[in-house]
Structure 1
């Protein structure tokens, strides 16, 4: 790889075989070198390949201002988090999390601490992401002599959720609100406590996250009207619950819930409530 630009002593810009810009990190990588020289690959610790040139420039600007130790730490956090969460994440996570963690450390040293109002919801609906957030906080506290709390773990978890959904923080907050409210509607409608350990719950939770994402980004599915009418007729109680969800979504988010969305919501509600009833019967 050839040096295209020297960001600082530890960060340089290069390009891959297709001419796409890369950000390359390594201690001393940019020290006493010149543009056009070949990169000393023995010093390379991480190569950042972003989704676009705009993101690459954002990352360059960010890394120019942040201590190498913080960047190295966040890179380790992301690699471990991938193993915990086991889902694909947008590469933008390197920008958002490096910036967030660096700021969290600075805030702690200035004795500025924030409570996360969504911590309960994050623990409940994003368990793996929260686990990864707790692991991140443990690593930060160990490496940086800080005492960050679960509130910070929840904030970091939200960045992982953003990276999975490919959206931004305001949308992720709205997604969480929708998921929380839909589960409340189902619980109240059928007077049940939903089993959060069940496979039906996990399936419904996954569906709801992407349903909510379609709501907040105003995206829609094509409708299968024949299937919709069959499901509506076959599961009237569950469909009535879906109508309550539809009313909430349309009144709060001004999103017209399509017949196909109603179909899938009804099917998932049927699964999750049927499993609950079957479990209760087996205990009698």
Structure 2
């Protein structure tokens, strides 16, 4: 692998030996003293990812040129830590989105402008792991850049991480977060239950609702359209079934999305677990 272009001491553009496509290669001191055509020192490579097109390549180069090196390094530190904690690689757009967000947020904060995160409560409840990473991130920013930021910023960072795992825009992620919280409130008051937020069933419910909301927002119907279990759910789990129909009414009215019978069945299964667990805990 050879250097096509040096972006800074830690970032170069090269060509993938496997695909022949241009890739961004990152690593501490990877490009120090190097120039076009030099071999890349493989032992210094920390991350490689492919840019989708020339537009993304141009944005990435512009980011490297305009964002201070120390912010880029903190951003990459947060991304690496996130991937370790979440146990998965984040989508490539996080490298652009997070660094750009941090640069703007830090400058805004230094100028005395604070923006309240109106989804902070929901983020804390629905995306606990991502929010904990956000708290780690603002501590890292304080340690590395001497800028002390509020919890609201941890929430914004968490949203960027969620974007990079769900493949959605920031707007869609915020809509998904709002929808999940609305549905949880509907479930809580319809079933007259208190959620055990530490339970496995609660985590499974949240996961199901996140992907369910993502389908609704993106207007993607589920793969199944009919199921033999629909009538069985109505007969055997009337409380869960009634609640599922209320959720159907909510998404139909607010998001113009019609739930299929299979989706109602899956909702019933999760709702019945919530009902059963609440009985055990009484």
Same fold, judged at TM 0.5 (above): yes
* Residue in structure 2 matching 1:240, options 242, 250, 265: 242
1:248-267 paired onto structure 2 within 5 Å: 248-267=250-269
Aligned-pair Cα RMSD in Å: 2.0
In 1, the alpha carbon distance for the partners of 2:173 and 2:62 equals 25
In 2, the alpha carbon distance for the partners of 1:94 and 1:250 equals 36
Q: Which residue of 2 aligns with 1:272?
A: 274
Q: Which residue of 2 aligns with 1:39?
A: 40
Alpha-carbon deviation of 1:23?
1.6
1:42-191 paired onto structure 2 within 5 Å: 44=44, 46-50=46-50, 52-53=52-53, 54-191=55-192
Post-superposition CA distance 1:170-193 (Å, at most 9, x none): 111111111101111111112121
Alpha-carbon deviation of 1:31?
6.3
**Partners of 2:226 and 2:260 within 8 A in 1:** no
| Stretch moving more, 259-268 or 27-36 | 27-36
Indicate the SS of the match to 1:116.
coil
Seen in structure 2, the aligned counterparts of structure 1 residues 262 and 161 have a Cα distance that, compared at 3 Å, is: same
Q: Which residue of 2 aligns with 1:6?
A: 6
| Stretch moving more, 221-230 or 176-185 | 221-230
Indicate the SS of the match to 1:4.
strand
Q: Any gaps of 5 or more consecutive residues in structure 2?
A: none
Seen in structure 2, the aligned counterparts of structure 1 residues 159 and 64 have a Cα distance that, compared at 3 Å, is: same
Alpha-carbon deviation of 1:13?
1.2
Seen in structure 2, the aligned counterparts of structure 1 residues 185 and 36 have a Cα distance that, compared at 3 Å, is: same
Seen in structure 2, the aligned counterparts of structure 1 residues 225 and 45 have a Cα distance that, compared at 3 Å, is: closer
Seen in structure 2, the aligned counterparts of structure 1 residues 279 and 30 have a Cα distance that, compared at 3 Å, is: closer
| Stretch moving more, 126-135 or 174-183 | 174-183
Seen in structure 2, the aligned counterparts of structure 1 residues 37 and 88 have a Cα distance that, compared at 3 Å, is: closer
Q: Which residue of 1 aligns with 2:204?
A: 203
In 2, the alpha carbon distance for the partners of 1:180 and 1:152 equals 20
**Partners of 1:129 and 1:160 within 8 A in 2:** yes
Number of aligned positions between the proteins = 279
Seen in structure 2, the aligned counterparts of structure 1 residues 217 and 51 have a Cα distance that, compared at 3 Å, is: farther
**Partners of 1:162 and 1:168 within 8 A in 2:** yes
Q: Any gaps of 5 or more consecutive residues in structure 1?
A: none
Indicate the SS of the match to 2:257.
coil
| Stretch moving more, 2-11 or 174-183 | 2-11
The answer to whether 1:228 aligns with 2:230 is yes
